[in-house]
A and B are shown apart, each in its own frame.
Chain A
Amino acid sequence: MASRAKQVANGIIGGPMSDAPAEQAAVLKLAGITKRFGALLANHAINLDLYPGEIVALLGENGAGKTTLMNILFGHYVADEGTVQIATPGGELRPLAQGSPQAALKAGIGMVHQHFTLAENLTGIDNILLGTRSLFSPFASKRSARARLEKIMRDSGLTVDLDTRVSRLSVGEQQRIEILKALYRDARVLVLDEPTAVLTPQESENLFQTLRSLADEGLSIVFISHKMAEVLSASDRVAVLRHGELVADLPTKACDRNMLADIMVGRHLEPEARMEVDKGPPLLKLSGISTGHGRDALHNVSLEVHGGEILGLAGVSGNGQGALARIISGLELPRSGSMEIDGRRLKPAPRTVMREGLVRIPEDRHRDGIVGEMTVAENLVIEDVRSKAFQSFGFLDFSAIEERAEEAIEAYDIRCPGGGAVARLLSGGNIQKIILARTLDKEPKVVLAAQPTRGLDIGATEDVHRRLFEARARGAAILLISEDLDELFQMSGRIAVIHRGKVSPPREAAGLNRSQVGLMMAGQESEDAT
């Protein structure tokens, strides 16, 4: 492992041509792409070739420069240095005018963004045809367009009802519309930015099957991902970005999970061990909490979380986790029931629960976790701005705030230009680090972690897990709400399941298996629980 880490440090593993079918000409050639945002080097001298009929996975942590690179390709950004060349249908490489999505489209590059760019109130076919037809013959071409689309759908297996309004389509169907949009415009290179982030496992599998059959027809595909499993199963080649540099370009069959993780993070990841800690007294106690109605209701929820333990709360999203988290966070009062922190019964309010030593990592970190327009430093102290440490007589103590920011940025490795940077510009992982720093540094008694690693890459996830383990080692009681069974089994001492607002009695994780928990999440009591 150590030798590989060294190899990683020395430069690119593999090489641009390591598995290239030598006789084939590249369809796309990125050469020496460099892009700076202020002091941040987002892409540094990146060379990447793409050949017809192959699927390339672009792997990297958040902030590694994957999306920047693809945005340069598609013309959203202009590279500071370097060239993009794309082959004409005849196979001749021509430079692509940069900074122009129109030129990219015309040259045969299709892009499916993570957040779809569809007009929700138009039908599928209208979305696909939007911008492709002449203003002067709006009706003439629709029938032939439909015939062509239907052929594309038959050939690719991408079936979707073209006449339904996009707002009524599922996320998976919307994505199919996006891909059809690219195919209809004769894309020869298809770029997908984190295509599975919004899909169920089933939909993801279908997507990759479709992509494979499209590639077999000669389409070249790049997909951005930080999920190891799909990269390994669905791609022909893996390009790994780290801190804006291309650090590996390897045939997928030569890779394995651990190796890719190491290359991506740039150091060797130790598998985290679930260390047993002595269970302390119950620090968070919920008794008979009921609230709300419909999908977001809670029915008579009682739960105890002890010091030194992580209690995992499993459940499919929308079964009352949101309401439970809001009540524990103090954002909402329950209709009935009570909450105790370390034996003290209290009326939940954000400041009251924080005063009693409960900290919250909110599920939606952009909405509830940070004020995007304010600086990193301000977001680090936002919960404590009234404490004596950061103000006197109502006046902010800027030097104390700055000092705290520097300390937290250092200790939590928050990647940002400095404490004065606007928080909104940071990646999801770094935003989560701000929240971790301001919550866990208080040496809390209780930690509420709601979906703390949702949308984070491996490195950031590992970081969150490590911090939570550290908090547990200090004796904190941690309630981990998650949909990710891997995470729950890896982290939790006990696991409870929430389904339709009811919480099952927690059980030792060691005595449970995934299928039991999976069944309980789907609403079935496991046999021996009754």
Chain B
Amino acid sequence: MIRFEPREYVSTRRVIGAPVFAALIALALAAIPIWSAGADIATAYVLMVNGAIGSVFAISELLARATPLILTGLAAAVAFRAKLWNIGGEGQLYAGALAAVAVGSGSLALPSYALIPAVLVAGALAGAAVMLVPTLLKVKLGADEVVTTLLLNFVILLIVQMMLEGPMQDPMGMGWPQSEPVLEEAMLPQLIARMRVHAGLIVALLAAVFAAILMRRTVWGFEIRAVGANPSAARHAGIPVTATFVRVGLLSGAFAGLAGVGEVAGLKGYLTADLSPGFGYAGIVVAMLAGLSPLGVVIAAIFVAGVFVGADSMSRALGVSSYLADLVVAMSLLCVLISGLFVRYHVRIGGSRATD
């Protein structure tokens, strides 16, 4: 018989160790689909690891992929901490990208040191503005933000398509639905010459540090945690609950908007409607893997990016479907959620008396 006894005290080591262990188990479980696809398991793992961290190029790819995941992960993590369920990271990302193109593709003629901050600010503001709408609908009218943020994703994507086939279409694009290119002065610099990893990574890391400090060390963070854990006690204690939700919503949207800026002004150089392969949704997974800790988001994003990049390269080499990456990420999430059980409970097997 298996029994669960709640732990009264949970050590930090266990809190950190459990998800790492869970991720390793998920990676190990990936052997089953690899084997069923008929590939050699050992080769597949070697290829996966090589593809993720085997060379400077691989690491650059890994970090380039992790950059938007860190930002959308932060967007989910700060919002979820206040129990503001922002599922709209994808839409906010596209809003940020759209704003970056609008500002960075020729409408402002500024030198690089002014134009890059302008592009970043514009993207953050656009993401924040998109998240402001469902937040206000929630606090003023009680509209469920899970529904409104999710549906806004499709609204934003349609607006992006409209812009790309209308006012913002590249006249030199031969009719393709893509935007005018971002000016050279507005592009985020590469961190390694001729590699794709770009300064957006620095922005993402700074954002993570900022979020960590905000949540743990400031009055606003205190209020966010209080509102998230017990809104009625927070209100009773005089914490401005509505203002806190609005602050969290703006911040969350801004993080997701910055992710869009990075993709447009750091990688692609122009906007298309398939800019993001679901980074907004993957950010939710990243935040959950990280236990909503801002610094944990960085690690979780790198892990998820590593799985994607590694599995991509392995699948190209072995002809295994690249859906394997999605499978591993999904299994990691399941394993982490299950490992949460082991963090909070003693698990005892057998009916005999345990000596603890």
Complex partner residue of A395 from B218, B225, B351, B353, CB under 8 angstroms = B218
Interfacial chain A residues near B240, Cβ < 8 Å: 351
* B233→A367 contact, CB < 8 A: yes
Residues A370 and B219 in contact in the complex (CB < 8 Å), given A37-B8, A80-B356? no
* B8→A38 contact, CB < 8 A: yes
Interfacial chain B residues near A77, Cβ < 8 Å: 5
Complex partner residue of B222 from A360, A367, A396, CB under 8 angstroms = A396
* A374→B236 contact, CB < 8 A: no
Max count, chain A CB within 10 A of own CB: residue among B9, B220, B356: B9
* A370→B230 contact, CB < 8 A: yes
Interfacial chain A residues near B14, Cβ < 8 Å: none
Complex partner residue of B218 from A369, A382, A394, CB under 8 angstroms = A394
* A383→B237 contact, CB < 8 A: yes
The reply to whether the CB of B352 lies closer than 8 angstroms to some CB of chain A is yes
Task: Tell me the complex Cα distance, A394–B5, Å.
Answer: 40
Residues A99 and B348 in contact in the complex (CB < 8 Å), given A394-B219, A395-B218? yes
Beta-carbon nearest neighbor of B220 in chain A: A394
* B226→A391 contact, CB < 8 A: no
The reply to whether the CB of B229 lies closer than 8 angstroms to some CB of chain A is yes
* B9→A38 contact, CB < 8 A: yes
* A383→B238 contact, CB < 8 A: yes
Closest beta carbon of chain A to B343's beta carbon, Å: 14
Complex partner residue of A97 from B223, B233, B352, CB under 8 angstroms = B352
* A78→B353 contact, CB < 8 A: yes
Complex partner residue of B235 from A98, A103, A331, CB under 8 angstroms = A331
Proximity string of chain A (385-411) to chain B, C-beta cutoff 8 Å, 1 when within and 0 when not: 110000100111010000000000000
Closest beta carbon of chain B to A503's beta carbon, Å: 23
Chain A 134-184 residues near chain B, CB threshold 8 A: none
Complex partner residue of B5 from A78, A351, A354, A378, CB under 8 angstroms = A78
Proximity string of chain B (195-222) to chain A, C-beta cutoff 8 Å, 1 when within and 0 when not: 0000000000000000000000111101
Task: Tell me the complex Cα distance, A285–B237, Å.
Answer: 22
* B233→A350 contact, CB < 8 A: no
The reply to whether the CB of B316 lies closer than 8 angstroms to some CB of chain A is no
* A369→B353 contact, CB < 8 A: no
The reply to whether the CB of B193 lies closer than 8 angstroms to some CB of chain A is no
* A372→B230 contact, CB < 8 A: yes
Residues A371 and B238 in contact in the complex (CB < 8 Å), given A80-B356, A425-B8? no
Interfacial chain B residues near A331, Cβ < 8 Å: 235-236
Interfacial chain A residues near B226, Cβ < 8 Å: 371, 374, 378, 382
Beta-carbon nearest neighbor of B353 in chain A: A98
* B236→A372 contact, CB < 8 A: no
Chain A 405-432 residues near chain B, CB threshold 8 A: 425
Closest beta carbon of chain B to A34's beta carbon, Å: 12
The reply to whether the CB of A220 lies closer than 8 angstroms to some CB of chain B is no
Interfacial chain A residues near B9, Cβ < 8 Å: 37-38
Beta-carbon nearest neighbor of B241 in chain A: A350
The reply to whether the CB of B1 lies closer than 8 angstroms to some CB of chain A is yes
Closest beta carbon of chain B to A37's beta carbon, Å: 4
* A97→B351 contact, CB < 8 A: yes
* B352→A351 contact, CB < 8 A: no
Interfacial chain A residues near B239, Cβ < 8 Å: 382, 385
Residues A99 and B353 in contact in the complex (CB < 8 Å), given A374-B229, A394-B218? yes
Residues A368 and B353 in contact in the complex (CB < 8 Å), given A38-B9, A391-B219, A425-B8? no
* B351→A100 contact, CB < 8 A: yes
* B225→A374 contact, CB < 8 A: yes
* B238→A350 contact, CB < 8 A: yes
Interfacial chain A residues near B232, Cβ < 8 Å: 367-368
Closest beta carbon of chain B to A415's beta carbon, Å: 15
Task: Tell me the complex Cα distance, A426–B5, Å.
Answer: 19
The reply to whether the CB of A329 lies closer than 8 angstroms to some CB of chain B is yes
Residues A371 and B5 in contact in the complex (CB < 8 Å), given A78-B354, A100-B351, A396-B218? no
Residues A369 and B238 in contact in the complex (CB < 8 Å), given A38-B8, A97-B352, A396-B217? no
Task: Tell me the complex Cα distance, A97–B352, Å.
Answer: 7
* A350→B230 contact, CB < 8 A: no
Proximity string of chain A (350-374) to chain B, C-beta cutoff 8 Å, 1 when within and 0 when not: 1100100000101000011111111
Complex partner residue of B356 from A78, A369, A398, CB under 8 angstroms = A78
Task: Tell me the complex Cα distance, A369–B234, Å.
Answer: 9
The reply to whether the CB of B3 lies closer than 8 angstroms to some CB of chain A is yes
Beta-carbon nearest neighbor of B348 in chain A: A99
Chain B 310-356 residues near chain A, CB threshold 8 A: 348, 351-354, 356
Beta-carbon nearest neighbor of A392 in chain B: B219
Closest beta carbon of chain A to B323's beta carbon, Å: 38
Closest beta carbon of chain A to B356's beta carbon, Å: 7
Task: Tell me the complex Cα distance, A97–B353, Å.
Answer: 7
Residues A369 and B236 in contact in the complex (CB < 8 Å), given A78-B356, A97-B351, A395-B217? yes
Residues A350 and B236 in contact in the complex (CB < 8 Å), given A80-B356, A99-B348, A371-B229? yes
What would 12 more interface pairs be, CB under 8 Å, given A351-B238, A394-B219? A37-B9, A78-B353, A78-B354, A99-B348, A331-B235, A350-B237, A371-B233, A374-B226, A382-B233, A383-B238, A385-B223, A385-B239
A-B CB contact pairs (8 Å), 28 listed: A97-B351, A97-B353, A99-B354, A350-B235, A350-B238, A360-B236, A367-B230, A368-B232, A368-B233, A370-B230, A370-B233, A371-B225, A371-B230, A372-B230, A373-B229, A373-B230, A374-B225, A378-B222, A383-B237, A385-B219, A385-B222, A391-B219, A394-B218, A394-B219, A394-B220, A395-B218, A396-B218, A425-B8
Which 8 pairs show the lowest CB-CB distances between chains A and B?
Answer: A350-B238, A373-B229, A351-B238, A368-B236, A37-B8, A371-B230, A382-B237, A38-B9
Task: Point out residues on B near A: beta carbons under 8 Å.
Answer: 1, 3, 5, 8-9, 217-220, 222-223, 225-226, 229-230, 232-240, 348, 351-354, 356
Task: Point out residues on A near B: beta carbons under 8 Å.
Answer: 37-38, 40, 77-78, 80, 97-100, 103, 329, 331, 349-351, 354, 360, 362, 367-374, 378, 382-383, 385-386, 391, 394-396, 398, 425
